[in-house]
A and B are shown apart, each in its own frame.
Chain A
């Protein structure tokens, strides 16, 4: 059984926001709602890193635990989804979620908070697959089209990986082992050249002896 997972490689993310745009475009997400967003840490300082964050489809999801109307469910592939016809928009899930995944559109009367909206791993919701009702409430159901989430498939540097957890883990492991560390990291050597002579870091073994 495939278990769906996302992983974002901070060494590769260039904060282009392509994933955010792909998500908003694919599901026609309204203004003010971002199912996915890019978070940058240490912005402007050396060692700055960015990661793309959305619902992580937790195995023991706190949103599910706190929902007073029990609108959440987990699919066989480990994707956490919810029923918007049951959701009352109370916002408990947004307080419980450590990733800030639950979003609330404020397009009602006097900016009233609407029903919760979040990343569905492009798996729609409890409506017939690919139906208009599903699209209007939850967006496209790409999994039922044999595809993967639009954000991961659109990522230009492949920092964001999504899909079968075992395969994603294998890809990431291969990548980490292949790219090395420091200036060996995949991409840097290609772009700026490998360290040479005077600029190279001193060999630690030679320094010890």
Chain B
């Protein structure tokens, strides 16, 4: 009986040492992917809404448009 009481006592003493996870579920809303075309009149043609590959190709082409070297004459 005494041993049982000691065991319960020890259990109560160390019970406070436990730690609960403090991170709860985030209340953040989920976002729509960029390849779902915006519902406004400013969407550029040349790609298909909802098609990730098509959107990525459009973005790559548009990024390449920032390179002026293909447009200027090669160095002599």
Chain A interface (Cβ < 8 Å from any Cβ of B):
1-2, 69-71, 73, 75-77, 81, 83, 85-86, 123-131, 140-141, 143-148, 152-153, 158, 161-164, 167-168, 171, 174-175, 178
Q: How far is the CB of A25 from chain B (nearest CB, A)?
A: 14
Contact B46 A2 (CB under 8 A): no
> Which of these, A71, A145, A164, contacts B40 with CB under 8 Å?
A145
**Could you tell me the distance between the alpha carbons of A75 and B35 in the complex, rounded to whole angstroms?**
12
Contact A130 B40 (CB under 8 A): yes
Contact B34 A70 (CB under 8 A): no
Q: Is the interface of B mostly helix, strand, loop or mixed?
A: loop
Shortest Cβ distance from B29 into A: residue: A126
A163 in contact with B59 given A86-B27, A146-B37 (CB within 8 Å): yes
Q: How far is the CB of B75 from chain A (nearest CB, A)?
A: 7
**Could you tell me the distance between the alpha carbons of A124 and B23 in the complex, rounded to whole angstroms?**
26
**Could you tell me the distance between the alpha carbons of A125 and B69 in the complex, rounded to whole angstroms?**
34
A145 in contact with B28 given A123-B34, A152-B66, A167-B60 (CB within 8 Å): no
Contact A143 B59 (CB under 8 A): yes
8 nearest interchain CB pairs? A130-B38, A163-B63, A144-B38, A126-B29, A130-B40, A167-B63, A143-B34, A146-B44
Interface flags, B35-50, vs A, CB<8A=1, else 0: 1111110111011000
Interface flags, B46-68, vs A, CB<8A=1, else 0: 11000000011011101110111
Given A70-B26, A129-B37; 13 other pairs, CB 8 A cutoff: A70-B28, A75-B33, A126-B30, A128-B32, A129-B36, A130-B39, A146-B46, A146-B55, A146-B58, A147-B62, A164-B56, A168-B66, A174-B67
Number of interface residues of B (CB under 8 A): 34
Q: How far is the CB of A149 from chain B (nearest CB, A)?
A: 10
Residues of B within 8 A of A168 (CB): 63, 66
Q: How far is the CB of A10 from chain B (nearest CB, A)?
A: 17
**Could you tell me the distance between the alpha carbons of A153 and B69 in the complex, rounded to whole angstroms?**
16
